[in-house]
Each structure stands twice: as structure tokens, then as C-alpha cells.
Structure 1
């Protein structure tokens, strides 16, 4: 395998020199048209700053979505906008640090509990706030083991991040026990639910189903509506936490544009386009798993999300990703990007249709893994309900 760096920029550069047209499977952005902006939104409030907490219409649409999809009633005042969930994730430790009590039971609250394998901004945001990240242990299936956290760490915990379906592993965490653990230990639970609509083995779920006390949930139009360019999301939950965050975020100048808020209002009120996107995503996940297994990369269907979490041939995810980019033009995400425990894996995004994937993954099989027979290729182990297409409530 080729040696060197495994950053996305490095891999894109290798792919550009491979002699093949680069195929980027490192990001969870489906190859579909983005939603159109709301007509006339660009001039509706252009003479004034858009409200940092979100327009009342947007917050009502978000609350309506939570009610229809999850059966959860959240007051509009307990919902607020953010300029995309990534921005919220990266800044939350700073704002909760400044909003919280300095100590609890004699211990300083200077630690944020993050997934052992997770979205890099979880750790980045903690470090930007001058706090200490602590990765939660996981079991053999990559599910969190909160019971294995040292009591001294729990006593210093400012809050806990949970992500389900999880990026990068696709694991669907049981949220009720996580929320119960947080309340029992006085640790707020913040649930990143950006991929909730991509739950394949069960109905989509939210941590808010077990009440708002001590819980925040974060949602986004990026995955539900394939609208990452809108830079819009919302957070909702514990009224006390929302009330603490809104003025601090406003003072920092964090706000979504008026165009994004108007478009997001329409998107959160509309379930039909989200169901269509969900069906496309489900089909692509199934096709990607099939094609990977047919071409020498053994993997199983994820419980949720837009990614396949696969063991890297040779045991080194970075080396495998570099070889794939240099020899086939395919860009994968090395597993170590998401935490030290991911070193032997790669994350592969299900964002293209089979017609695009099949010839390129066949090239990966031939150039990287050598000739293989049908008996060499393990079958995918699907989840109980691989498409999980539950109609919006």
C-alpha cells in the first residue's frame, strides 16, 4: 500500500493523478439536485439581520416536524435555529461552558463526553472551548458503554454527545437508556439526529421522546432534504438550555440567512420530498453494500446512515484509502479520521446510483485485491428491515 497522509485533500490529489475520473465517496452528499430556494426570500428581509433564534415560522415548522414524525410536542420557544448542525456542534461546548455552573459536587465541569468513533467536530468543538474530550467506550458492535466510564470523568462531565444513526458506524443507539443515564448523573444529553431519517432497521427516533428535561436534539436540512448548501438546522429540547444558548449565540453573530430560514420553513413543513430522498438513500445503501461485497470488500448493511463502515483490506484504513485513490480514483474516508479506534476501517458514502458505482468498484477489485471468484466474495448481512420506509406520521 502507498504510504503518506490520509486527509481528504491528499486523497483528492491522488485521485486526480490516478488516470481515472475521481469518484468521491468520502462525503455524505447524495448526487441529487438541491432543494430550490423559497421564491422571493432573498429580498423579504434583506434590510435587517435575520433573527438568530430563527423566525417564528421556521421554529413552528420545526416543532410541527417533530410532532408529525416523532410524536413529540415541543413548545416553539424551546426550538431555535442554527446555521447548520456542524456550526452548532463546533460551538456548543463553548456556549454551554459559559452558561453552566463552574462546579458540581466539588468537581469542575471541564469534560465533554464524545463518541469513541464520531464526527470530528465533536472533538474539535471541545478543544476550541478549552475543555477536555473523553471518548465513551463501546462494545464489539460499536454501541456506547456508559457504564464503563470512570466515576471521576462522569463527575466532571459538562454534557454528553450521542449520535444515532451514528456517523461513521451506522449504529442505531437505544436513546431511552442514554437519556436515563444522563438524568441519573446530572449530565445533559445532546443528541445529534442529522441522520434520523436514514434509520433503516427501525423507525426514526429522537432523544426528546423521553421528555425535554436535560436533553437537546439537533436536526438539519442537510441530510433530510439534501440541502447542505442552505446551512440551516435547528436545536430543540430543555427550555432552560435553549434559553441559555439563544442570547449567547446571538451575541456571537451566529445566524442563518433569511433565504435559508424561509426555505427551511417550507422544507420542514413538507414530508413528501423527504420521503422521496429517504427512498433514494435506502436504495443506494443497499446497492453499495451489494457492490462492495461483490468486489472484494467485505461489509454488512448499516442499521442507519448514509455510510458503509468496512474493515480495510490489509488492516490499515489510511493505506487502503491512499491506494484506492492513487490506482482507481476512488476517494474513501480513512476510519482513523473518526477516532483512533477506526484505524483499521474505511467509511464509504452511499451517494451514487449502482450505474456509477459498479464499474468503478469493479476496478477497485481488479487493481487492489487481485482476481477473485464468486466463492471468495462474502454475502452482505442485511439488517432486519434494510429499507425501513416508514411513512411520515
Structure 2
């Protein structure tokens, strides 16, 4: 077996299962799942209709680069959403089977190990390539890096910097070994959004050091008022219409409540995408034609996306109104997560706020599933930026969210001295 598999961390939900293995839920309450970021709003029926109407096309092999009509639809969507002048559907767009597999496989295709690029055996030249990524982060970034033979370099995203990575603080010697930078905007789990100025700074660094920027924008359509600026949009604003060294990843999972369709795309630098397409041809992950036709219908309609945003906005307003002060909630820039600071009274042996204790109490005492923040982060220089936070996904119905709020209010009303969190 590939020895690099031993470097992989257990997935966050596997860690949660271990944490709660000896716990029992509060059976007086119906289970409410706010831990996994799986959309629960109804998928658009017109998309499902297109899917079922074209099931006969499952008899045909799909091509790796997808049908032209899908690529053209995606190109037009990008142009309209991000104010791009022209996106070439044949060279700058590639449909994928959900962005999770594309994020992972793109790293395998892009990263060059030292022996492959230089042939030099010196210690300096043989250093592992680095992939810079936010911390906390989506764990696929790390796993992809490790299995490609690269080393993750974690950039802390803390309240001190509005939960965004401070790329200006990264030393030059790190950039000199960096081949890729992962950015998640809007961020999972914090909801922070990159500004145009943030993108401009990162693009200047990419020009100087030659690394690829991989922007995970799967939550870009779940905003409240102002659409987030995307990487390709920033490129266009700077006159960089070739999108050099830039890739964006988009999905229908969150935008259109279609996580099981496994439909997304990668867009950007045509030279990178040409090689990545070749890689994918061998990799064998072409999207079935019925899925492609259903995807066209989804990308062409914005009404259902607006309704999706309205539902999330309503749930965020509910949480902020009813628990904003009690839990000291911060409204995210976008997305559907609350990044919640653990309330007082849930502490570890050192007196520090304990996210594991809080999620265990939620499960054992009021049967609510949430995710411990430390499982989405890595400790760097003795600090885990996710420790003391809990991720709550507002994916359940409005009624379930109200019920969860009422239960949490009751839990927090219990005097600290009488709480049981173990």
C-alpha cells in the first residue's frame, strides 16, 4: 500500500464518532443534525425532471470534457455572475463530478516533486513542495497535498484577522517552495470572504513566485446582500484575462441543493486545464450525460438560487436575534455556517474553552449534532485556531432551527456548577 496513506488524518466526522462513541443522545428529544454541511432544502423540481427525462442517455459513454452545451452554459454563467468579458468554453471550463474530487485530483496533476523537476539531489532542492492553505480548512486540501508528496503550510484564520489568512506575513522562504495556494471564499467553516484587495495581494505573490491559486468558491452563491468577489473576477478587474495560474472550483451542491448530483466545474488558466483534462482522461471521472443536461438547467436558472438565499437569510436572522448575545454570535460574510465561540462553562482541565465538551453536551443533553472546531484545524506552534469553536450548519428546516435554539437556551440556562459534560 502507498505509505503516504499513513499520513492522512481521520476525517472530522470520524473523530466526532470517536468522541461520542461512549455517549448516548438525549432520547427525550428528536435528533437535529447541524454538524454536516449537507443542504436540506428541496432540490429544484425542474432539474430533477430534466434528469429523469434523459435517463436513456445513460447508455452512452460521456466524454471527459463534457458536452459543449454544458461548457457554454457554465461560461455564460461565469461571465454574468463575475462580470467577465469572455470565457472560452473549450479551453477555460471543465465540468467535474463535484468539486471534492476535482480539488483532490487537481493537486495530483499540478504538483511537481523535486526529482521530477530538477534532478538535483541537494537538500535545498529536494525539499518537499508546499501547498499553502487556510487553518481551519476543508480537509481535502490537506489529504490531496500529502498524497501528492507535498507538505501543507497552514495559515491561521482567526478573529484577529477577521478569520482570513494573512498572506503578507508568510516568509519569502515559504513562498519560494510553494507550488499551490488553496483559498476558500466564502470560507468553510468561518464564512469569511476575500475582498478584491485580498485577491490583488495574492495575485501579486503568484506572479512573483509562480504558484497556482486554487480558489474553492462552492459557497459563493450563499450570500446575504452583496455577491462575493471571485478570483476570476479579480483577475478581470486587473486585466488578467488569461487567468494565468488561477483555477476556481464551483458546484451545484450548495447553490442548487443538489449534493447527490455530483456536478461542478473547474475554470481558469487554459494551459493548466489542458494538462488537467489529459490527467482526467486517464483518471476516469466523466460526468454522466443525464447529469450534464440537468446541470445545464440548474446553471441557467437563478430564481431557485435566490429562494435558497432567502431561506438561509431567514435562519441566520433567527439565530442572531434569539441567541446572538447569549452565544456571542458573529454574522458570517456568506455561506451557511455559524462559527460559534464555545460559551463559558464548557472548559477543559486547563480552564480553556472546550469545543469537545460543548458538542458532547449538545448531543447528550439536547440531541443536537454539531462539529468540534478543533477537528477542522491543525495545531501549529502550539495553537489550534479551531479549538474553542464549534461549527453549526444551518441546513435543517426553519422549524428545526427554532427547536435547536430553544434547546440550547435551556442548556445554557442550567447553572455551570450543575452541568454534566462528560
**Normalising by the residue count of structure 1, what TM-score does the alignment of the two structures yield?**
0.86
Specify the alignment match of 2:381 in structure 1.
Answer: none
TM superposition outliers: structure 1 runs of 4+ over 6 Å: none
Contact 2:20 2:360 in 1 (8 A): no
2-structure distance, mates of 1:180, 1:168: 26
Give how far 1:204 is off: 2.7
The structure-2 alpha-carbon separation of the partners of 1:41 and 1:11, relative to structure 1 and needing over 3 Å to count, comes to: farther
Specify the alignment match of 1:75 in structure 2.
Answer: 88
Contact 1:284 1:351 in 2 (8 A): no
Contact 1:84 1:220 in 2 (8 A): yes
Specify the alignment match of 1:252 in structure 2.
Answer: 283
Contact 1:70 1:204 in 2 (8 A): no
Specify the alignment match of 2:10 in structure 1.
Answer: none
1-structure distance, mates of 2:134, 2:61: 36
User: What's the CA shift string for 1:290-326, capped at 9, x where partnerless?
Assistant: 33336x3221111111001011123111211111111
Give how far 1:223 is off: 0.9
Contact 2:99 2:250 in 1 (8 A): yes
Do residues 181 (structure 1) and 205 (structure 2) align?
yes
C-alpha RMSD over aligned residues: 2.5
- Stretch of structure 1 that moved more, 131-140 or 68-77: 131-140
Do residues 124 (structure 1) and 143 (structure 2) align?
yes
User: What's the CA shift string for 1:348-374, capped at 9, x where partnerless?
Assistant: 1112344222233222222344269xx
2-structure distance, mates of 1:369, 1:160: 44
The structure-2 alpha-carbon separation of the partners of 1:48 and 1:30, relative to structure 1 and needing over 3 Å to count, comes to: closer
1-structure distance, mates of 2:26, 2:66: 45
SS in 2 for 1:191: strand
Structure 1 residues without counterparts, runs of 5 or longer = 373-393
Choose the corresponding residue for 1:161, options 182, 193, 209: 182
Contact 1:170 1:302 in 2 (8 A): yes
Specify the alignment match of 2:4 in structure 1.
Answer: none
Do residues 110 (structure 1) and 126 (structure 2) align?
no
User: What's the CA shift string for 1:225-274, capped at 9, x where partnerless?
Assistant: 01101001000000011111011012011222222211111111112211
2-structure distance, mates of 1:358, 1:346: 18
Specify the alignment match of 2:385 in structure 1.
Answer: 341
Choose the corresponding residue for 2:354, options 306, 316, 337: 316
Provide the aligned length of Structure 1 versus Structure 2: 366
Choose the corresponding residue for 1:331, options 369, 374, 390: 369
Do residues 142 (structure 1) and 166 (structure 2) align?
no
Contact 2:73 2:296 in 1 (8 A): yes
The structure-2 alpha-carbon separation of the partners of 1:285 and 1:102, relative to structure 1 and needing over 3 Å to count, comes to: farther
Specify the alignment match of 1:9 in structure 2.
Answer: 17
Give how far 1:162 is off: 0.7
Do residues 303 (structure 1) and 333 (structure 2) align?
yes
2-structure distance, mates of 1:56, 1:8: 43
Contact 2:318 2:402 in 1 (8 A): no
Contact 2:39 2:259 in 1 (8 A): no
The structure-2 alpha-carbon separation of the partners of 1:6 and 1:334, relative to structure 1 and needing over 3 Å to count, comes to: farther
**Normalising by the residue count of structure 2, what TM-score does the alignment of the two structures yield?**
0.80
SS in 2 for 1:365: helix
SS in 2 for 1:144: coil
The structure-2 alpha-carbon separation of the partners of 1:182 and 1:345, relative to structure 1 and needing over 3 Å to count, comes to: same
SS in 1 for 2:244: coil
